[in-house]
Amino acid sequence: MVRFKNRYVTVEISSPMIPENKPLSLKSKIFHETVMTKIQQLHGDFGVAAVRTGFLTKYCNENTRIAIIKVRHGPHKFVTSCIPFITKIGNLDVSLRTLHVGATLKHCFKFIQKHQRAYLNSVWMSLKSDDERKRLEAAVMDFTKTDVAINIGNIT
């Protein structure tokens, strides 16, 4: 029996149309279909066939604008090469940036925690009250806004 290796690609989604403090109305299914159509455009039928098996959007948070894509090892290069060329998701103008490519979901969430902690530290001083700070921290560090239930209880 052969074990298939996976890669998890952490992507940051930024949109100039929507301010940073408002959540994106982004569904993981639309994000998934957009990536597949871009792979079709750039790599053709071979790219789609290579990526299709094991390709999932595991995590898509509208508040933090971060998504995690699961893809098999090898064809993950097709996905990572297509990500910078995606400029529209649905009717929303976006730009995507690859933050991290990891071998496990646990390491991706560790990276996201570190990335979000740095973001919190940069924004922390601009907030006026403790209540605003607590609400921002709760929204940024919330990993439960997923389409697939993920247990990350033992990460910290």
Establish if 47 belongs to a structural domain: yes
On whether residue 152 sits in a domain, the answer given is no
Instruction: Please report the pLDDT score of residue 153 as a whole number.
Output: 34
Which amino acid appears at position 42 of this protein?
L
> Dihedrals φ, ψ of 72, to 5°?
-70, 150
Question: Count of domains in the chain?
Answer: 1
Q: Going along the chain, which residue ranges are E strands?
A: 6-14, 56-61, 66-72, 88-89, 92-93, 95-102
What CATH number does the domain containing 14 carry?
A: 3.30.70.3250
CA nearest 74: which of 1, 3, 4?
Answer: 4
Residue 50's domain spans which residues?
6-140
pLDDT (tens, 9 = 90+) of the chain, 156 residues, equals 788 899 999 999 999 888 877 888 888 889 999 999 999 999 999 999 999 998 999 888 887 889 999 999 999 999 999 999 999 988 889 999 999 999 999 999 999 989 888 877 777 777 777 787 777 777 766 666 544 333 333 333
For the whole prediction, is pTM greater than 0.85?
no
